[in-house]
A and B are shown apart, each in its own frame.
Chain A
Amino acid sequence: MLDVDADFSTKQTILDAILAALIAWLFFLPITGVLLDGYAVQSAWHQPFVLALIVFYARCLIAIIVHTDLGKRLFVGKGHYAGVEVVDKTNAHWHWLLVIVAIGFVFPFFSSKYWLTVAILALIYVLLGLGLNVVVGLAGLLDLGFVAFYAVGAYSYALGSEYLGLGFWTALPFAAVLAASFGAILGFPVLRMHGDYLAIVTLGFGEIIRLILNNWTAFTGGPNGASAPLPTLFGLEFSRRAKQGGTPFHDYFGLDYSTIYRYILIYLVLFLVVCVMTMVVVRLRQMPIGRAWEALREDETACRSLGINHVVVKLSAFSMGAMVGGLAGVFFAAYQGFINPSSFTFFESALILAIVVLGGLGSVVGVIIAAVVLTILPELLREFSDYRVLIFGMSMVLMMIWRPRGLLPQRRQAFRRT
């Protein structure tokens, strides 16, 4: 069964596990063993024991697994070095890519509405991940307030339709431009800052935008939120009864009314945008500006001494990321039909950052996979409703321990001699 190597010592393992269990028992004792009930407490002594027992077995199991061949392959010597891996030859699997894109396009016609909405959310997070990946992964600017641009995008659609009468299609470029200029404006004061100071300032910006959206009730609707109209397709509407002066989609084609059509439309447009954005980001990395971003990430001083204009490079990274975030916001508002500031909290920023880091900084494919996993995982975990977020948090920690550089670390193609 499991072949352990010579280093494995049963005695040591059990001693370690007993120690771990003891510490675990102490750790769990006050919070799980003594339960508050008003100003009094009740005891639940069995709970810390059970948890300690679980820790004991888990510790034994881990000790055994890391001493097997399988465990060594999985855990040892992976990812604990920094830098970008260089691959020799192009491994672009064109036909696979085509198959995936094709599947992506036909998916909504076979999916149930629920999974379609999950897919839309996943794609929105892919978009957000791609945007933040430019800022954090490529340009190396740690941004903890990325949700601000997402909010700007979402609100520019909702408020734009309310005050300016913008439709979905006009809102897309409008929100993109608006978010990009926000990115540039917010990027300007932070040019001098590095690392974690930058992180906290962006976090501050994110919170400021959310708080203003929440407080400025007269304009944004405050906590009551703002409603966003459904997207239309050449004047066809997707509601049961036409509200914006067009014809309902199902009437025009003589179909039965179903809400799935609107989600199919949003999904298809979103999927197209994601494909285009993926291509743009991949191509940008090969272009001078993309290389400048990465160079700046590696060594700002060297870049500046070589004549790279760090202001332009940083601001372009911020605006590029913000623009993609803003687009995601429009889709979010269109999909949900209603937005309020509670969708744009710091937790959301943290989630997007987690997507980028879990996927592998700078790696486009990794980010896409991570976004899909992180959106679908909580949905699958709905069965465990109470433990959902707990398991989610644990898997974040475990993933980082297992693969600190992300699922698919960034790779760079080597220059080939021709």
Chain B
Amino acid sequence: MDWMIILQQLVNGLTLGAIYGLIAVGYTMVYGIIGMINFAHGDIYMVSAYLTAICIAVFMSWWGWTFVPLILVLTLIVVILFTSLYGWVVERVAYRPLRGSQRLAPLISAIGMSLVLQNYVQISQSARTQGVPSLISGHPLRIGSEQNFVQITEMQILIVIVAFLSMAVLSYIIQATALGRACRATQQDRVMASILGINTDKIISIVFIIGAASAAVAGVLVTLNYGTFDFFIGFVTGIKAFTAAVLGGIGSLPGAMLGGLILGLAESLFSGFVNTDYKDVFAFALLVLVLIFRPSGLLGKPEVEKV
């Protein structure tokens, strides 16, 4: 076995894992606060990919900008803003009216919302695969000989750094700010929190907005890195990210990142050294195995049953 190849697969897995982790954050935060699986989250991420391409196209082909850093920063800001709006609207329209009803109602509503978003984008933007021009490319970092090397691209570095940075920021918000305290209070006991003067509806909206914003960050990075997307990516990536969130222990922020990284690495290594056909089977089997031995995921708190 060649060390360079193993290292390269680790780099591949780390990048993929960071992306899964970023999207998993949205699942885990929403789950943490209202205990529902937000199936439409993957589609929010898909919308952000479209927004990215639209922003870049507007800046470059309409307004004729050429200064790449400015385009990237502005794209990121605009996409985060609009995707947050999508997250907020979805919560307001499809989930808030269901607050307090039986547990499965929001799940079905979320599945419906996921269908709506997919088809809404498909009808307005056509079903064809879209793309963005490659803005950052050219000088990957290569270590090793001409034939046998490990390569890290600028985008891969950016993805991993941004993923960890957003994780740190989110953890800080949850752990150390007034907003975070309100979030945690709502999570533990919504009725009690509202009695203590926390506007729980507002807190839940904010959580949805934060979740959508992290999906937007992932959307921008992924779109720039792979250059192509369609209206179906939300489903494909969404299921993986959701798996990552559960693997790490749903409701736990570091768990989402850990789950994402493990899933990304597992997929890359299995695909690279065993078989690509059965890569997804392996990923799901890993999840099942982990849950059999740790029924609440790797970093999840064990459920305390109240009697």
Contact = CB atoms under 8 A, between A and B. Distances in A.
A–B contact (CB under 8 angstroms): yes
A2 interface: no
A41 B112 contact: no
Contacts of A300: 305
B50 A354 contact: no
Contact of B94 (A197, A215, A397): A397
A139 interface: no
Nearest to A211: B281
A405 B125 contact: no
Given A41-B57, A208-B281, A397-B94, A196 B111 contact: no
Interface string B236-253: 000100110010001000
Contact of B107 (A47, A357, A386): A357
Contacts of A275: none
B69 to A, nearest CB: 19
B206 interface: no
A396 B108 contact: yes
Given A80-B101, A196-B246, A211-B280, A36 B291 contact: no
Nearest to A136: B104
Interface in B151-185: none
B105 interface: yes
Contacts of B100: 80
Nearest to B239: A346
A227 B58 CA distance: 50
Nearest to A31: B124
Interface string B204-245: 000000000000000000000000000000000001001100
B125 A397 contact: no
A400 B94 CA distance: 9
Contacts of A212: 281
B61 A39 contact: yes
B298 interface: no
B288 A201 contact: yes
Contacts of B111: 350, 353-354, 393, 396
B288 A189 contact: yes
A390 interface: yes
Interface string A9-40: 00000000000000100110011101110111
Nearest to A82: B102
Contacts of B131: 38-39
B98 A393 contact: no
Given A204-B284, A393-B116, A23 B57 contact: no
Interface string B75-112: 00000001001100100011001101111111111011
Contacts of B39: 350
Contacts, number: 182
Contact of A396 (B47, B112, B123, B281): B112
A393 B119 contact: yes
Contacts of B126: 35
Interface string A262-306: 000000000000000000000000000000000000001110000
Given A208-B285, A397-B93, A192 B295 contact: yes
Contact of A361 (B102, B125, B130): B102
A197 B116 contact: no
A392 interface: yes
A85 B164 CA distance: 49
A1 interface: no
Nearest to A401: B97
A300 B100 CA distance: 22
A358 interface: yes
Interface in B45-91: 47, 50-51, 53-54, 57-58, 60-62, 82, 85-86, 89
Given A204-B284, A301-B307, A400-B109, A34 B58 contact: yes
A354 B291 CA distance: 26
Contacts of A396: 108-109, 111-112, 115
A72 to B, nearest CB: 16
A332 B144 CA distance: 56
B108 A358 contact: yes
B284 A31 contact: no
B121 A201 contact: no
B58 A197 contact: no
B62 A400 contact: no
Nearest to B131: A39
Contacts of B124: 31-32, 35, 47
A67 to B, nearest CB: 17
Nearest to B58: A41
B105 A357 contact: yes
Contact of A353 (B89, B101, B108): B108
A64 interface: no
B132 interface: yes
A311 interface: no
A165 to B, nearest CB: 30
A44 B266 CA distance: 44
30 contacts: A27-B86, A30-B51, A34-B57, A36-B57, A36-B125, A39-B131, A39-B132, A41-B54, A41-B58, A194-B295, A196-B31, A196-B35, A196-B250, A197-B296, A200-B242, A201-B291, A204-B288, A208-B285, A208-B288, A350-B39, A357-B105, A389-B115, A389-B119, A390-B115, A390-B116, A390-B120, A393-B118, A396-B109, A397-B116, A404-B98
Interface of B: 31, 35, 37, 39, 47, 50-51, 53-54, 57-58, 60-62, 82, 85-86, 89, 93-94, 97-98, 100-109, 111-116, 118-121, 123-126, 130-133, 239, 242-243, 246, 250, 277-278, 280-281, 284-285, 287-288, 291-292, 295-297, 303, 305, 307
Leading 6 A-B pairs by shortest Cβ distance: A396-B112, A393-B115, A404-B101, A204-B284, A393-B116, A390-B119
